């Protein structure tokens, strides 16, 4: 029982509300935003250490006991994700200072940005399924505003589609909540888990779990990613990076939470279904990544492929695979934000997003080129970087449980991911510069190397220092493999 | 009673889905509001439509209706109201800027 659990949510919330009052004073906006982002990293780090020392921390809002009141739960899994969110959010914010441009800053960019963080962190910490819906909506409404802010034709066109698909999936989420309440009579996740265990997971509950999988799959881009390529290529790079790092991962988190805590009884149906979806998602993602010769599209389809990896780790559901999925999720949030920031800087420097019109950029942007190479290797999972450990554990888990086909697909798609990233690197940075440099080509502001460098260092440190990160990941996997730990923490007395 | 309400919710979902698949942006926006009506009706129905007093303690009745789904619906209504108003303004702005409300023409190849 500690208010520390809700602090990572309150810090951006208070900041966002304060920022509304002086939206024209850009300097003050930036300073307050930066200070709040750094404070939030410290708070989230404190939460991780607190959970490490004292076990799962819970906070009953208003002092009402769990099934009646709303409870916020920080187990290690959620705490690690909150920390990663705070770091990614801070890096994207610092990147935005240099790239977002004054007109957008004047029109409430920073308040929306902080509201987005509120929604994401709230989704990770809540222990109530309707509250999860509300946090999703906070996140989504902020993301609608961020995706359309600026109002270019392309943003308007793509945000209509993004909005529509999310309205439909939110309606389905409420439908699923209605059915859950109708059959089980509770909305608290720990209580739901207990009631499902008592009643036994019959056909109706399995159907409901598949409906929830559909909803979260829409958010996460698990198979249902048709909306994602258009939407994520519309907004400016700082926004696209925060979307790529955080939004789909909230969907992945919700899938992992629901299928490890509540609906884990009928794995022959649900987890096999998730495995098949994961295999299709991985294949489709890498097919997209190798098909296009456009920076946006290559990076976006790599998001899709990575979602497939995490879903595969969940589908295997052994301890090893869940550790791998957790590690990979943390790594992927960092590396996707890093890649989108690098991609944004690259597009700004080259003046185009098409590989055919680029070339020879290593002479103009040597640092950017080598950082992009490191990020690409980290994405694929070359050993000293962070992508390796997660993928290794997932693959080991998959082989141990006899998921040979899907393991094969995941290894093959890693290879194709490498191909797609190397294609990007070689086409953009090697060779000769084209004769007609696009007129919009410009210099990359040196300030953007700070957030990019910080993320690169973290990605490398997470890979080299996996030995230090593993106890935390193992603690997260404890609660994922044994729901009773989570239930006991929430339902004590 | 629940059966009738379920049929009504089902019809709202059907009409909403049909409208969302239409070409015109305005019809799509109307379709999303119909679907949210259907969802709210379903939420009310799934909690059970039993006879009881309104959930006010001053009524001093033997039995009350379940207050929780009503709170959930109220939350969901304001959220979908906010999103719908945003959607309408976005549709208006898109019509002004792009000069069409035909979803076929809003396809875009991502190459401008």
Any B CB within 8 A of A383 CB: no
Nearest chain A residue to B82, by CA? A141
Of A287, A188, A208, A304, the C-alpha closest to A247 is A304
| Model confidence pLDDT, tens digit, residues A456-484 | 999 999 999 999 999 999 999 999 999 99
Any B CB within 8 A of A174 CB: yes
pLDDT at A63: 85
| Model confidence pLDDT, tens digit, residues A383-426 | 888 889 999 999 999 999 999 999 999 999 999 999 999 999 99
Pure H helices in A381-482: 387-400, 404-429, 449-464, 466-481
| Model confidence pLDDT, tens digit, residues B67-105 | 999 999 999 999 999 999 999 999 999 999 988 888 888
3-state helix, strand, coil in chain A (%, to 5): 80, 5, 15
Candidates B42, B80, B94; nearest CB to A156? B94
Distances (CA, A) of A465 to A392, A459, A462, B43: 15, 10, 5, 48
CB contact under 8 A, B108 and A158: yes
Within 8 A of A163 by CB-CB distance, chain B residues are 83, 86-87, 90
Work out how many domains chain A is built from and give that number.
1
Is the confidence at residue A283, as pLDDT, over 70? Answer: yes
Chain B from 81 to 110: CB within 8 A of any A CB:
82-83, 86-87, 90-91, 93-94, 97-98, 106, 108, 110
Candidates A156, A168, A174; nearest CB to B43? A174
Is the confidence at residue A357, as pLDDT, over 90? Answer: no
Answer whether A129's CB lies under 8 Å from A192's CB. Answer: yes
Nearest chain B residue to A354, by CA? B111
Strand, helix or coil for residue A223: coil
pLDDT at B111: 47
- The token duo for A161 is 């589609």
In our burial notation (b when 16+ CB lie closer than 10 A, e otherwise), range A353-369 reads: bbbebbbebbebbeebb
Is the confidence at residue B49, as pLDDT, over 50? Answer: yes
Strand, helix or coil for residue A220: helix
Within 8 A of A233 by CB-CB distance, chain B residues are 110
Q: Give the Cα separation of A424 and A292 in Å (integer).
A: 10
Of A312, A243, A320, the C-alpha closest to A275 is A312
Q: Which residues pair with A188 in a beta bridge?
A: A128
pLDDT at A77: 95
Q: Give the Cα separation of A411 and A413 in Å (integer).
A: 5
Q: What is the mean pLDDT of residues A158-181?
A: 94
For residue B73, give how far its alpha carbon lies from the nearest alpha carbon of chain A (Å).
9
Candidates A134, A153, A170; nearest CB to B75? A134
Q: What is the mean pLDDT of residues A269-279?
A: 94
Residue of higher predicted confidence among A201 and A490:
A490
Per the prediction, chain A carries an average pLDDT of 92
Share of chain B above pLDDT 70, in %: 96
Within 8 A of A151 by CB-CB distance, chain B residues are 93, 97
Q: What is the ipTM of this complex?
A: 0.95
Cβ neighbors of A440 (< 8 A, separation 6 or more) are A351, A352
Any A CB within 8 A of B112 CB: yes
Any A CB within 8 A of B46 CB: yes
pLDDT at A249: 94
Q: Give the Cα separation of A180 and A171 in Å (integer).
A: 14
Chain A from 35 to 64: CB within 8 A of any B CB:
none
Q: What is the mean pLDDT of residues A308-314?
A: 94
CB contact under 8 A, B42 and A297: no
Residue of higher predicted confidence among A63 and A414:
A414
Q: What is the distance, to the nearest Å, from the Cα of residue A64 to the centroid of all Cα atoms in its chain?
A: 31
| Model confidence pLDDT, tens digit, residues B3-29 | 999 999 999 999 999 999 999 999 999
CB contact under 8 A, B94 and A157: yes
How many Cβ atoms are within 10 Å of A185's Cβ, its own excluded? Answer: 15
Domain extent, residue A118, equals: 3-491
Within 8 A of A164 by CB-CB distance, chain B residues are 20, 28, 32, 87
Q: Give the Cα separation of A159 and A243 in Å (integer).
A: 13
Within 8 A of B20 by CB-CB distance, chain A residues are 164, 168
Distances (CA, A) of A305 to A84, A98, A233, A387: 20, 30, 17, 13
pLDDT at A420: 95
Any B CB within 8 A of A132 CB: no
Cβ neighbors of A411 (< 8 A, separation 6 or more) are A395
CB contact under 8 A, B90 and A296: no
Answer whether A116's CB lies under 8 Å from A134's CB. Answer: no
Question: Within 13 Å of residue A148, how many CA atoms lie on the same side as its CB?
Answer: 21
Q: Give the Cα separation of A392 and A398 in Å (integer).
A: 10
Within 8 A of A157 by CB-CB distance, chain B residues are 94, 98, 106, 108
How many Cβ atoms are within 10 Å of A404's Cβ, its own excluded? Answer: 10
Q: Give the Cα separation of A187 and A185 in Å (integer).
A: 7
Of B92, B46, B3, B84, the C-alpha closest to A180 is B46
- The number of helices, as runs of H, and strands, as runs of E, in chain A is 22, 2
Q: Where are the domains of chain B?
A: 2-50+65-107
Region of residue A351 (left: phi > 0; alpha: psi -120 to 50; beta: else): left
pLDDT at A476: 94
Q: Give the Cα separation of A41 and B35 in Å (integer).
A: 40
Within 8 A of A175 by CB-CB distance, chain B residues are 39, 42
Give the model's confidence band at A344: pLDDT under 50 very low, under 70 low, under 90 confident, else very high.
very high
pLDDT at B112: 46
Any A CB within 8 A of B77 CB: no
- The token duo for A427 is 């086409």
One CATH from 3.40.50.1100, 1.10.3720.10, 3.40.50.300, 1.10.287.3510 for B2-50+65-107: 1.10.287.3510
Question: Which of the residue ranges A16-20, A205-209, A440-444 would you say has the lowest mean pLDDT?
Answer: A440-444
Is the confidence at residue A493, as pLDDT, over 70? Answer: no
| Model confidence pLDDT, tens digit, residues A114-153 | 999 999 999 999 999 999 999 999 999 999 999 999 989 8
Strand, helix or coil for residue B61: coil
Q: Give the Cα separation of A294 and A306 in Å (integer).
A: 19
């Amino acid at each position: 029982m500690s208010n520390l659990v809700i602090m990572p949510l309150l810090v951006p919330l208070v900041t966002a509300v304060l920022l509304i009052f002086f939206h024209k004073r850009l300097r003050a906006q930036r300073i307050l935003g930066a200070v709040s982002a750094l404070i939030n990293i410290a708070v989230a780090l404190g939460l991780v250490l607190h959970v490490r020392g004292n076990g799962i921390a819970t906070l009953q809002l208003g002092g009402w006991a769990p099934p009646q009141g709303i409870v916020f739960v920080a187990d290690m899994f959620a705490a690690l994700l909150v920390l990663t969110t705070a770091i990614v959010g801070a890096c994207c914010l610092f990147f935005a200072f240099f790239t977002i441009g004054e007109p957008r800053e004047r029109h409430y960019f920073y308040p929306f940005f902080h509201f987005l963080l509120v929604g994401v962190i709230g989704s990770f910490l809540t222990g109530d399924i309707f509250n999860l819906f509300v946090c999703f909506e906070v996140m989504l409404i902020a993301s609608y505003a961020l995706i359309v802010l600026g109002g270019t034709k392309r943003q308007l066109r793509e945000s209509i589609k993004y909005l529509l698909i999310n309205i439909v999936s939110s309606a389905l989420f409420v439908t699923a909540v209605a059915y859950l309440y109708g059959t089980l009579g509770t909305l608290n996740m720990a209580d739901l888990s207990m009631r499902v265990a008592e009643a036994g997971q019959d056909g109706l509950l399995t159907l409901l779990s598949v409906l929830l999988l559909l909803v979260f799959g829409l958010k996460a881009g698990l198979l249902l990613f048709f909306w994602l390529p258009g939407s994520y290529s519309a907004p400016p790079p700082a926004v696209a990076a925060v979307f790529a790092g955080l939004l789909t991962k909230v969907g992945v988190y919700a899938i992992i939470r629901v299928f490890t805590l509540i609906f884990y009884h009928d794995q022959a149906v649900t987890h096999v279904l998730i495995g098949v979806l994961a295999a299709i998602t991985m294949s489709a993602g890498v097919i997209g990544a190798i098909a296009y010769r456009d920076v946006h599209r290559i990076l976006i389809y790599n998001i899709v492929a990575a979602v497939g990896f995490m879903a595969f780790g969940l589908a295997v559901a052994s301890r090893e695979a869940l550790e791998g999925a957790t590690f990979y999720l943390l790594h992927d949030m960092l590396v996707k934000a890093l890649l989108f920031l690098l991609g944004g800087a690259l597009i700004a420097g080259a003046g185009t997003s098409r590989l055919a019109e680029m070339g020879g950029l290593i002479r103009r942007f040597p640092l950017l080129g080598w950082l992009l190479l490191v990020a690409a290797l980290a994405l694929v999972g070359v050993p000293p970087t962070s992508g390796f450990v997660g993928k290794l554990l997932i693959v080991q888990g998959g082989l141990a449980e006899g998921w040979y086909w899907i393991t094969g697909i995941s290894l093959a798609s890693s290879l194709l991911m490498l191909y797609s990233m190397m294609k990007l690197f070689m086409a953009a940075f090697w060779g000769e510069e084209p004769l007609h440099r696009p007129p919009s080509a410009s210099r990359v502001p040196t300030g953007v190397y700070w957030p990019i460098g910080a993320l690169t260092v973290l990605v490398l440190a997470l890979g080299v220092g996996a030995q230090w990160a593993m106890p935390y990941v193992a603690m997260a996997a404890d609660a994922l493999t044994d729901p009773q730990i989570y239930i006991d923490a929430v339902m004590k007395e | 009673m629940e059966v009738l309400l379920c049929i009504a919710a089902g019809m709202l979902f059907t009409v909403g889905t049909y409208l969302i698949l239409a070409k015109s942006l305005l019809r799509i926006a109307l379709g999303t509001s119909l679907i949210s009506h259907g969802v709210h009706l379903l939420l009310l129905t799934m909690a059970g439509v039993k006879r009881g007093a309104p959930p006010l303690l001053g009524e001093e009745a033997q039995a009350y209706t379940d207050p929780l789904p009503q709170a959930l619906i109220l939350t969901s209504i304001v959220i979908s109201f906010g999103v719908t108003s945003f959607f309408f303004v976005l549709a208006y702005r898109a019509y002004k800027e792009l000069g069409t409300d035909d979803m076929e023409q809003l396809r875009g190849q991502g190459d401008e």
